Structure 1
Amino acid sequence: MVIAAYQGSDCVGLALAAQRKTPSSTGCKIKQLWLHRSGEQAIDQVWIEHNDFLVQRDNKAQIRLAMFEYLYAQKTLWQELYFGLAESSVIDTLTAKSTFYREVISSPDFEVDLLNKSHLNDYLADLSKNTRSQIRRTEKILSQTGDLILALAENDTQKKQFLHDIAQLHKEKWRNTEFGSGFDNPIFERFHQQLIFEEKETNKTRIYCLMLDKKPMAYIYILIHDKTWYFYLSAMKSHHDNRVKVGLLAHAYIIQQAISEGVAKYSFLAGEARYKRSLSNQPEASQKLICFYQPTLFMRTREFVRSAKSVLKNLLRH
C-alpha cells in the first residue's frame, strides 16, 4: 500500500506499507502492516534503520503524526502495525497515542559529533585514554611493518574487487550464525549491487579499505546523506597480535577523512558493540521497532500470553 499526505495540492508525505498474514499459535492468521518492511527475514535482511514516514522538512512532526493517526484508524487493514526501527524520540510521539503496543526491538545507537573538529586529534581527545591508546598503539605497530593507506574504491573495477572481498570475509564470520551472512542471501546482495553501482550523480555509497603495504586489512562500507556518514558494515582480516585493533584504526582513519570533507556526523547506527561505544563521543541513543495491536479480546489475550511466556523464560534462565 502507498500512503500519501497532502497539504492542498502538494504531496508532503509518503510511505509504503506491506500487508502480510502470519499464522498464530492458535492457527488463526494475523493481519499485519509493516512500514517499509515485508515482515519476512530474507527480504528484510537489508535492515532499515531510522525508518520513518518520508515527510518534508517543514512541519515534520505534524505530518508524521497525521499519517500515523490515519493509518492507525484503518482498523480493517491490520491487527498488528509495525513501525521502526526508528529513533526513540519518534517512537515516543506515536506510543503516546496508544497504550496497545509492544516493544519488539530496542537497540542502542551510537554517533560521533564532528562539528568543530578540524583534525583527528580533536576527535580523539573526546575518547577515553584507553581507546586513544589502542588506536595509537595499533597504528605504531602496523607502521613498523609497512605503509598504512586508507584507499577508496573509486571505479567499478575497484568496487567489484572490494565487494567480493567483503562478501568472502562476511560469509566466513556470519554464515553459521542465527540469521547468516547477508551475502548468502540473493535479495540482500542484489540490493547492495544496485546501490553501490548507481550512477555517480545519485550514488550515496563509499567502500574504504585500510591497507598495509597494499594488502587489505579492513573494509568499511558507508552510506552518505547530507552531512552525515552512516557506517553500514565492515569486514576485517584477523591479526596475530591481539594488541592490534584493526577495526578501531580503520574507523579512526575514515573519521579523519570525514573531518577533512566537513562532515557533521559519523553514525555507527544501531547495534550493541563495544567498539561503537568506545568510538562514540555522544550520549547513547536508541532505535526501536514497535508493534501496535488492536485492543480486541483475542489480540489482548495473545499479548498477555506472550508477556507471560517472556517472564517465565527469564525466571527459568535465572
Structure 2
Amino acid sequence: MDYRSNVTYITFGGHVEVHKYRYLYFVIMFMVYILIISSNFTIVCIIMIHKNLHEPMYIFIAALLINSVLFSTVIYPKLLIDFLSEKQIISYPACLCQWFSYYWLGVSDFVLLSIMAYDRYVSICNPLKYTTIMQKTTVIISLILAWILPACQFSILILLSANKEICMFHSKGILCNSTVLTLHCVRSRTLSIFGLVNFVTGVLLPVLFILFTYARILVVSYRCRGVRRRAAQTCLPHLLVLINFSCLSAYDVLLPRLELDSPKIVRLIMALQVVIYHPLFNPIIYGLKMRRIYDHIKKLFCRAV
C-alpha cells in the first residue's frame, strides 16, 4: 500500500529468477508478441481483402483472431515492463482492469466458438436455409452480442470485487486473473456464487452447445457421404481450437479455487502456455487447416519471395 498516494499495489511473485534472465525473458516474449500480432493480423487482413472470404464463417474467424490480439495486448506490454523492472508490481485498479479484460475476451471466445458451431450446423445440416438464416444482420448482431454480453457479465463481478477489502498484497502469478480472489480478506459467498454463474453461462453452456451441435453434424455426416469431407475440413479446426482453449481455461479457473501449492516453475509454465499457446494456436490452425485461407497465404508468400 502506498499511503502517500493512497494506491494499493500488488506484487507479482510468479516470476522465476527474473533478475538473472530478465533480458532473455524480454527478448523471447517480445518476439512472441510480435509473432502473435503479425500472424493474427495477416489472416484478418486476408479475410478483409478477399471477397470470396466475406462469408459468416470467415468473419467469425476474423473476430476470434482480433480477440487474440486484444488479449495479448492486455497481457504482454505489462509482462515486458515487469521483466525490465526491479519490482514486478501493479496497482489494484489496473489489476482489476486486466482481470476484467482477461475474462471478458476469454468468454467472448467461447461465445464466438458457439456461434461458429451454429453456423457450421446450419451450413451442413440445413444448406438450403443457410442464406436465409445467416444474413448480414444476423452476423452483425451475433458479433455485438459476443462482445457486449461477456463485458456486462464481468463488469458486475469487477464492481463487486472493487468494494472488497484486500489483506494480501502478494500474488503467486505473473498477471491478474482469477487469483485476485485469493487477495481478499474474506471470501465472499456472493462473489463465489456470481463467479459460478458466470462460469456456467459463459463457459459450460457454450461448450455443451458446441458439443451438441457437432454431434448433430457428425450424425448427418455419417448418413451422407457427400458432406463428410466438407464437415471435416470446416469443423475440425474449430474443434481443435475449442479443445485447446477449454483445457487452458479449466486450469486457469480451477487452480485458485483448489488452492494448489504447486512449484513456482510449474505455475509459470502454465501461465505462459495460456498467454503464448492460445493466441498463436488460433492463426496456425486456421491458416493451415482452412483451405481458402491457406491458399491466399501461400499466394502471399510466393509473391513476397
What is the TM-score normalised by the length of structure 2? 0.20
Bigger share in strand: 1
TM-score normalized with structure 1 length: 0.20
Q: Find the structure with the greater CA-based Rg.
A: 1
Higher relative contact order (CA 8 A, sep 6+): 2
